[in-house]
Each structure stands twice: as structure tokens, then as C-alpha cells.
Structure 1
Amino acid sequence: MAIQLNIGALDIQITAEPLTHEAFSSFGDVVSNPRPDVHPSSFDAHAQSLPPNAFLANQGSAIQYRNVSRLKNLYDQAPSGKGEPIMSIFVCAARGGAESSSSGANTFTVRHLERHPFTAQTFTPMRSTASSYLVIVAPSLPPSSKDEDLPVPTGEGLPGRGFPDLKRLRAFVATSSQAVTYGAGTWHSPMVVLGQAGTRLDFVVSQFASGVAVEDCQLLEFVSDGKDEPSIRVKIPQRDWSIKL
């Protein structure tokens, strides 16, 4: 069940940017082929220019890029004390309800953010009828009395217990050739697929889970004073990607 959070008169408007490793590094990992121009048969010719984690594999028929992302399991700190590795498939419809603006861009209203405090979560797209998706993330505020009942792990590099800092919200457009790993405890939007109505994008999702709802997923629902929907909007420029929500 979602926790309803009144954001009062707060009005947030941001513009989505292309998803890159560097821009997303404080929230998790972007997983993609770093050198799609290099065929395994030409590994030796390009060896000096490849990333240091590149290795020839499978009797020379593949290039392996090692340790591109790591799944983190922190369930030993959860009240249940145990989480199991799981893989699932999310079949995600392109989201409707966005509005076109005079600038030629579309907007998406952020009504929910969620986090998985005890596990990282990787979304790996599979070939489908849509080809891009929106990644929306936020760092955490310091802990407060409003979130004191939410279980979270402790440790270096973790976001902490606080609710999301909406004033530092970020948004990125990812392509179907990019997987994304949300770091443990990272506030993020439920999956938002971009594309024509009736299209979809499928994902393999890898994570740990205990089956205890408040440990596995903490979901927020935003409301604004005197408005039907929260004033948290992401502008999605129409560039090389074709976006019509």
C-alpha cells in the first residue's frame, strides 16, 4: 500500500536528458555495450582501446565485459533477516496521459516514487514494440519523524532512511539497448515506457526479495494542495527518440 505524501505548494519541473553512465552514477549503474563498433573477431586489433574489463571469451567468439553491475543483498539487516534472489518479467505498456506542450515536447506527471531498501534492482529490456523508457530518480532527504517506521539498512554509500528530495529530482531517457540498475534504497519511479498507445517494452528484472511488503518495496504517492494531481512534471524533448505517450 502506498504512503500518501502531501507536497503542499511545491512545483517541480525538470527536463529529461539522455541516460549515460556518468550522469546516473550516483543512483546506480547503466549497463550497455561500451563498444558496439567492435566485433569479437577484431578483438586483438582493438584490444588497446577497449575498456580494461574487456576479455575475449567463448573460444574467441565473444567479448566479455566483466563486473558491469552488481546486485546487492542487504536483507541480513531486514527484520525478516533473509532475502532470496529472484528474476521476473515486467511487460510494461507505454504510458498514456501525457500532455503535449507548445514547445513540441511531452510531459509526464510523477505521481509515485518507490525504493527497494535492501536490494539493488536491475531492469534489462528485451526486444518489444516500444524502444525507450523514462528513468526518474531522486536522492534521499535526511531522516525525519515521517519515515521513522520504515525499515532500512545502514552502511557506507547507502541513501539513508529519508523520503526523496524532490528538489533534486533527475530524469533520463533510456533506450532498449540500455539496462539500468537502481542502487539499493534509491528512490525511483515505477517503470515508464515511452511510445505509441498499444505498444510495450518487456524487461527481465533481477533482485533479491523476502516476500515482506515493507522490506521489498516502499511506495510513495504524491498529492498537492488543491490540485487533482501533484505538480511534479518531467518534460521529454523529442529528439532522436520517437515519443508519444
Structure 2
Amino acid sequence: MPSKVRSPPHRISISPLTHSAFAPFGTVIENPLTSPSPATLLPQSVHANQGTAIKYLDVTNLNNHYPLAGSKRPAKAVINMFVCAPRRLRTAPAASTPTEDELDGFSSPSQGETVQLFDVSILERHPYTPQTFIPMGLPTKSTCSSSSLHTYYLVIVAPTLPSRRQRYSTTLPKPYPSAEPAHKPTLVERFKLGRPAPFTNDSLPPPSPAIDMELNLSGNPKGRGMPDLGNIKAFIARGNQAVTYGPGTWHAPMVVLGDKSVDFVVVQYANGIANEDCQEVVLERVKGASEGAVVEVDMRSLEKLMSARVYENGRINSKL
């Protein structure tokens, strides 16, 4: 049974999917030679196929973290296919406050106009495994005319709240072993730590693994916290982009917009234990609010995001 959390009203604007913007949540996989938003560090490459191909090495992280799971049941690599139908949107008045697109110079609906909204009603995480979504057959701007480009997919993610800042209770099992209770040092121990001991080579103890987990070092699982509903992000992806959600990353199920279904090949690890493979929370709007977390979909802005060819620091160059 998924936990339920209250989501305050929050309208989320759509941003382009870039390496830098998505880095806190996972990896964007795309051809570095044709990407309008190249990664800061290009992956290592070698020639392959008798010199007719370039092979990029380790373009994403697919480490198995199931040894951290409480059951200790081994996991195996699985490859599934998701056929994702377009989502239904609802019509509502446009937000009266400026959106990020407006601040970037893009046209957005004025006050009094209506927009299409997607309600974010559920978030999930896979505590011990990355999860890579690879779209198949979705056209890109370079392969079709603008009049035939009517299908998109959105990537919706949320940061993880540190456990110490948990703002609501949950019935979800903890995805990682709880840290041992902190030892309260005695007066003598505090004195010894105040200055280096002159006759020993003792050093301060290494940081706790639980602390490293909270810091979310590159490639490590996220912490035990719930999603930060005030900082949900929505990205629009091109047809030649795949994404890897980092282990433990809170994300919405894949959101397809437009005319057609999109086929995704999905690669991850799984051990068959439901609460260790996937954990979910249902978002409910707070009492008295007309909406909760919603993504504002303006098709005119989406067309501009998809057609722009230059990105600067993870943001669209509005001077094009």
C-alpha cells in the first residue's frame, strides 16, 4: 500500500533535458557529437566495427546496490519494455506569476488564458538500482518537419529530503540500514579530540557510511528521506535522448504527451521483493487547495524548446 503525502499547490514549468540540469537525479544518454548540450566531461571513446563506429564507454551508471537491502536476496539484471500511452491533460487558467520560460524570453500564456496541466499524483523510487529508459521510434527534430512532431515525453523528478528534515510520517520501509545511535563522547574523549595527541599517529575516525549516503556521492543511492515536493523538476526530452534515474531517485512514472504511444526499453536490477524493488508515495493536495503539484504544459513553449539548438549552462539560449 503506497504512503500518502500532502502536496501544497505548486506549478512546475518545463525545462530542456540537459546533462547539467539532470545531474542531481541521474544521467542523460545521447550522442555527444550531436547533442546541443554537451556534457562537461565527454565519455572515453574508442574506434569499433572495423573503424566504422565510435564506441563511447560507460555512458551511464548501472551498479547493483541490492547487497544493502534488508532481505539480502540477490538481484539480477532485467530488461523490460514499457509501451506508454499519451497522458490526459486538464485545462485550467494560466498562472498569474511569471514562469521560467517567460523569464527566459519565451512566449507564455498571459493572465486570463488557459493552459494544459498534468497532475503529478504519484512518485516512486527504486532504492537499490538505477533504471534506464531508452525510447524507441520517437522522432527527433532533425528527422521530421515541425508539423509532424506531435509526441514528446517528460521526465519528472524530485530531490530527496534528508532524513533529519523529515516533515511527515510514512509507512514505507526504510530502504537502507538505519545508522547506529550516535555515541555521546565523554569529557575525556572530547578533550582528546580537541588537539592532536603528541605521541601517537591517531587520526579522526572516517565519516560514517550513513553520512556519505545522505550526501549522495556520485553513483551512490539516495538517502532514506521522502521526496521534496517543493522542488519537483520537469524536463522535456528529445527522441534521441535516454535517461538513467539514479538509485533511490524519486520520479514520476514516464509521461508521454501528444498523439502516439512511445515504446521504452527499460534496464535495471530487481530481486522480486516488492518493497525493495519499488517504493511509491501518492500525492494528495492539501485541504482547501484546488490543485497540488502540477506540470504546466504550453505546447507553444514546448515547440520552441524542441527546436532550439543552442544551450548555455543548461538553459535555452533565448537569443536564437
TM-score range, shorter chain: 0.7 to 0.9
Whole-angstrom distance in 2 between the partners of 1:187 and 1:5: 14
Whole-angstrom distance in 1 between the partners of 2:249 and 2:116: 25
State the partner residue of 2:130: 120
State the partner residue of 1:46: none
State the partner residue of 1:136: 156
State the partner residue of 1:47: none
Classify 1:98/1:57 alpha carbon distance in 2 versus 1 (closer, same or farther; 3 Å). farther
Cα shift at 1:53 = 1.6
Secondary structure of the structure 1 residue equivalent to 2:276: helix
Cα shift at 1:66 = 1.1
- Decide which structure has greater strand share: 1
1:210 matched to 2:230? The reply is no
1:2 matched to 2:2? The reply is yes
Cα shift at 1:99 = 2.3
State the partner residue of 2:89: 97
1:151 matched to 2:191? The reply is no
State the partner residue of 1:225: 286
8 A contact 1:30–1:181 mirrored in 2? yes
232-241 vs 208-217, which deviates more? 232-241
State the partner residue of 2:226: 163
Which residue, 181, 186, 201 being the options, matches 2:262?
A: 201
Deviations 1:121-155 (A, max 9, x none): 00000015874211111111122472475232353
State the partner residue of 2:105: none
1:79-98 superposed matches below 5 A = 79-81=70-72, 82-98=74-90
8 A contact 1:151–1:215 mirrored in 2? no
Cα shift at 1:17 = 0.5
State the partner residue of 1:69: 60
8 A contact 1:108–1:234 mirrored in 2? yes
Q: TM-score scaled by structure 1?
A: 0.83
Whole-angstrom distance in 2 between the partners of 1:131 and 1:22: 24
8 A contact 2:157–2:250 mirrored in 1? yes
Cα shift at 1:100 = 6.1
Whose Rg is larger? 2
Whole-angstrom distance in 2 between the partners of 1:133 and 1:64: 27
Classify 1:123/1:229 alpha carbon distance in 2 versus 1 (closer, same or farther; 3 Å). farther
8 A contact 1:121–1:183 mirrored in 2? yes
State the partner residue of 2:314: none
Q: TM-score scaled by structure 2?
A: 0.65
Whole-angstrom distance in 1 between the partners of 2:4 and 2:59: 36
8 A contact 2:125–2:251 mirrored in 1? yes
State the partner residue of 2:241: 178
Tell me how large the CA RMSD over aligned residues is: 2.6
8 A contact 1:147–1:161 mirrored in 2? no
8 A contact 2:3–2:172 mirrored in 1? no
Greater relative contact order (CA < 8 Å, ≥ 6 in sequence):
2
Structure 1 residue ranges without an equivalent (≥5): 38-49
Which residue, 271, 286, 297 being the options, matches 1:236?
A: 297
Deviations 1:1-43 (A, max 9, x none): 3222233xx2111201110011000100000111139xxxxxx
Whole-angstrom distance in 1 between the partners of 2:304 and 2:174: 40
Cα shift at 1:175 = 1.7
8 A contact 2:3–2:170 mirrored in 1? no
1:187 matched to 2:250? The reply is yes
Point out 4+ residue stretches in structure 1 off by more than 6 angstroms.
none
In percent, how many aligned pairs have the same letter? 41
Secondary structure of the structure 2 residue equivalent to 1:214: helix
State the partner residue of 2:186: none
Secondary structure of the structure 2 residue equivalent to 1:70: coil
Deviations 1:63-119 (A, max 9, x none): 111111011211011122121110000000010133265527532111011000010
Cα shift at 1:51 = 3.9
Whole-angstrom distance in 1 between the partners of 2:226 and 2:269: 22
